[in-house]
Amino acid sequence: MAQSPRYRFAPSPTGYFHVGGARTALYNWILALQTNGVFVLRVEDTDDSRNNPQWTQGILDALAWLGIDGHDSHFEGPYFQSANAALHVAAAEKLFEQGKAYYCDLSTEDIQKRAKETGKQGYDGYSRDRGLGPGAGHVLRFRVPEGSTIVEDQVRGKVEFDNATIEDFVLLRSNGSPVFLIANVVDDINQAITHVVRAEEHLPNAPKQQMIWQALGVTPPSWAHVPVLVNEQRKKLSKRRDKVAVEQYREEGVLADAMKNYLMTLGWAPTGDTEIVPFEKIIGEFSLSSVNHSPAFFDIVKLQSFNADYIRAMSLSDFIAACEPWLLGEKAPWLAEKFDAKVFAEIAPLVQTRVQLLQEVPSMVDFLFCDLPTIDDVSFAKAFAPEWAIETLVEIRDGFKTCEFNAESLKSVVEAVGEKHSLKLGKLQAPLRVAVTGRSVGPPLFEPIELLGREATLKRIDVALAKKV
């Protein structure tokens, strides 16, 4: 019986979870779902100087947010590379015993000196036939064979590497610890990994790892190296320079479904005239052979546009539920006892169509749950600059004192003042909006004013008028 395909995702916990890593994880996850295979999560935590449990948990949480976790039978793990160090060393020593690896005592300075003398860059294989064994300051190097190494890549086709351009690379450091190359291969072998799908930056490692697989007498996996993500300057996304953390986008209120959909359009596209499609359609259509070879631009503006579409497509109840982290608890800009869920439910339909990120919701409704709004000085100055602003706002206030306090009547009052002064509704609303909400933008004005109530509305207009005076 044929073995089910086993795909692995092997992040290093050295920082926040990168959006490029998230896309690679989704590729592996979808392929596992398509083939009834297994997605193996292996945390490569061998860099003690940079690893942090916080980063590990961040990876697990971000993957779970994207729907990749143990709740699905296709998921396996997490495994931790650090637990397998003895196996890595044993495999390296086996290669030494078979003559496929050898020890070298040259320091970095020695190698550089020889490079100047010989005119050959890098390590020149000096210790190949010196018969050295393990010892202080000795590294174990793989003996790269002559000829070439062909990597059959599901994205890039046949990629041939001239072995003469690959120096004998290190398997064990001078302190006896294994390097990434041997650790990665041994773990893949022990975990029966059949497919390696990863970013193209790892392609130069593929011939080295394939050599190790073959030297250990095991058939290498199926390779696939997908294009990297780049910023608007077409530079590879950098944790130091760019906004790349999945956690940050989640905190801002990007929906998981929107993030999944958007990431899958970077270097690949579903059929049809729209990129916004159900994840089930993506699972049904995705293939490595249709992945673009060129780097993909991670466009934050486009991601937000995707998210806005997903927000608008939510049911009202789902939208309200999704907003809760920003309405309750530490994220809320008002006291907990001031929040009224019924009031928010009334205004939610107006807000839902106007936000791109869930974090924008509080700033659209905070005036409803605060005693007085915090007035934006720039918006105030602009709205109250016209000579008619004070006079018309006073007239609007007088109208609000006696009219029926509902959205339709409130709008009629403002329209009547506008006709008197030959001002369009949109222009006349500006000082009123700033007075009531503190801002120049927000949801349609009259429904929120109705929710706010007559007393609170008049009080805010008086405060704004006093501020102007």
Instruction: Compute the distance between CA of residue 75 and CA of residue 388 in angstroms, rounded to an integer.
Output: 66
Instruction: Compute the distance between CA of residue 72 and CA of residue 198 in angstroms, rounded to an integer.
Output: 22
Active site residues: 239
Q: Report the chain's terminal Cα–Cα distance, integer Å.
A: 85
Instruction: Compute the distance between CA of residue 169 and CA of residue 153 in angstroms, rounded to an integer.
Output: 22
Instruction: Compute the distance between CA of residue 115 and CA of residue 124 in angstroms, rounded to an integer.
Output: 8
